[in-house]
Amino acid sequence: MEENQPSENNTVTQKSHNGKLILGIIIAVGIAAFFGGYTFAMETAEPEQMVMQESSKILGNAQPSQVATQGPSQLPKIISSDDDPVRGNPDAKFTIVEFSDFQCPFCAKFHSETLPLLMENYINNGKVNLVFRDFPIESIHPNAVPASHAAECTDDQGKFWEMHDIIFENQRNWQNVEVLESVDLFKKYAIEIGVDEDEFDSCMSSAKHIDEIKKDLLDGQAYGVTGTPGFFVGNEEVGFTKIIGAQPFSSFQRVIESLEG
């Protein structure tokens, strides 16, 4: 019996630890539910429909080649990056501020198809940087807030972009599971990228980044984001151009080249 006691004690400790983590996530999701009113029908539409619906409000009878963007004169001069993670040179001439939902399939499409080309042509050479801001549509994506919170917790340890990538790359594995199962997967991903497990668990169980996630969402709303992904490209000097939806690299290329003059 004495030989088994350490194992039993470890089991009890682990159960207690897991219970604390689960409780924290339940609290986090509960708080997220109070965001309220963020169901955007446009986000569930096909990408082409999403672009047309939003752009018809902005550009009237514009031609199809125009409908993906909204020009600088129609937007706030300053689109805040807050203190959110930056990919690339922080002093780059232009910034892409992305408002994104980790559970959104169009956001995953941008990550897999467009972002690599932006990295190759603009971000890696220091011309443009990318700022990621959270815009979880919790009412239709119940795992989006836990995913955002998990990414924020890895950001505490300097591992945001590694977590960002692994969450999007594995979206199909967690997007349709129960919240607690998705949390287990996020913890697995965090360990895979090398974060300190105890620190990550403490962060998750405290729901410490919920206010930050909510601030991102409210800022996005204030800037006119009505679905994901939504992008603002530019700087305070020339203003920002809004790009709507999972647009191809060419859409970003046209905007950046036009801003360069």
Residue 20: CATH number of its domain: 3.40.30.10
Starting from the edge strand earliest in sequence, which strands make up the sheet with 128-134, in order? 69-70, 239-244, 230-235, 94-100, 128-134, 86-87
Average pLDDT, the chain: 79
Q: What is the pLDDT of residues 120-143, one digit of tens each?
A: 999 999 999 999 999 999 889 999
Confidence band for 66, pLDDT divided at 50, 70 and 90: very low
Q: 82 versus 236: which is more confidently predicted?
A: 236
Structure confidence at residue 8 (pLDDT): 53
Query: Beta strands 94-100 and 128-134: pairing type?
Result: parallel
pTM of the predicted protein model = 0.78
How many other CB atoms sit within 10 Å of the CB of residue 153?
A: 27
Does 54 score more than 60 pLDDT? Answer: no
Does 39 score more than 50 pLDDT? Answer: no
- In order of 6, 41, 95, the CA distances from 242 in angstroms are 58, 19, 12
- In order of 45, 68, 98, 103, 200, the CA distances from 41 in angstroms are 7, 18, 20, 15, 34
Q: By residue range, what is the domain housing residue 160? A: 5-260
Q: 5 versus 85: which is more confidently predicted?
A: 85
Confidence band for 37, pLDDT divided at 50, 70 and 90: very low
Structure confidence at residue 79 (pLDDT): 85
Q: 75 versus 142: which is more confidently predicted?
A: 142
Strands (E), the chain: 69-70, 86-87, 94-100, 128-134, 230-235, 239-244
Instruction: List residues bridging with 243 in a β-sheet.
Output: 69, 231
Structural domains counted in the chain? 1
Q: What is the pLDDT of residues 207-248, one digit of tens each?
A: 889 989 999 999 999 999 988 999 999 998 989 999 999 999
Structure confidence at residue 207 (pLDDT): 85
Does 53 score more than 50 pLDDT? Answer: no
Give the span between the Cα atoms of 75 and 85, in whole angstroms.
23
Confidence band for 104, pLDDT divided at 50, 70 and 90: very high
The tokens describing 146, both together, are 């836990």
Separation of first and last alpha carbons in the chain: 78
Q: Under a CB-based contact definition with an 8 Å cutoff, are residues 229 and 100 in contact?
A: yes
